[in-house]
């Protein structure tokens, strides 16, 4: 069975002063329908950046690599107009506590 959400070798950098600043390196995870997953770690370890990157909600100076598939759709290569159809309906972010919610 295919995972509902598949993240493979996710790397995220921000371009600052014309140089890449690596903030996430080689994150991989799979979430099947019905699974509940929490990202746990110390402050500043990249939990929020990881969750925001899944929905491609990071600033324009962000460089992504790796694969993020949701229902077999490559999210990182989608245009914002395509992502707007998925955001809120199928995937959403909730703060207090900060969480990524995948609607089934």
Rounded to two decimals, what is the model's pTM? 0.81
Per the structure, the count of domains in the chain is: 1
The two three-digit tokens of residue 38, written as one number: 């929490």
CATH number at residue 56: 3.40.50.300
Reference 52, options 95, 93, 83; nearest CA is: 93
Q: What is the pLDDT of residues 24-83, one digit of tens each?
A: 999 999 999 888 777 788 888 888 899 899 989 999 999 999 999 999 899 999 999 999
Quick one: 14 exposed, middle or buried, by C-beta within 10 A (0-12, 13-18, 19+)?
middle
> Whole-angstrom Cα distance, residue 46 to residue 48?
6
What confidence tens digit (pLDDT) does each residue in 5-25 have? 999 999 999 999 999 999 999
Pick the closest to residue 93 from 61, 41, 49 (CA basis). 49
Structural domain span for residue 57: 5-102
What the block records as the tokens of 3 is 């995972």
């Amino acid at each position: 069975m295919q995972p509902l959400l598949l993240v493979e070798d996710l790397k995220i950098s921000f371009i600052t002063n014309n140089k890449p600043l690596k903030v996430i390196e080689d994150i991989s995870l799979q979430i099947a329908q019905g699974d509940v997953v929490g990202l746990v770690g110390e402050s500043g370890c990249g939990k929020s950046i990881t969750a925001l990157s899944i929905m491609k909600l990071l600033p324009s100076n962000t460089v992504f690599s790796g694969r993020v598939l949701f229902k077999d759709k490559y999210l990182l290569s989608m245009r914002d107009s395509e992502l707007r159809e998925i955001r809120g309906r199928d995937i959403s972010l909730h703060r207090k506590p900060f969480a990524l919610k995948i609607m089934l």
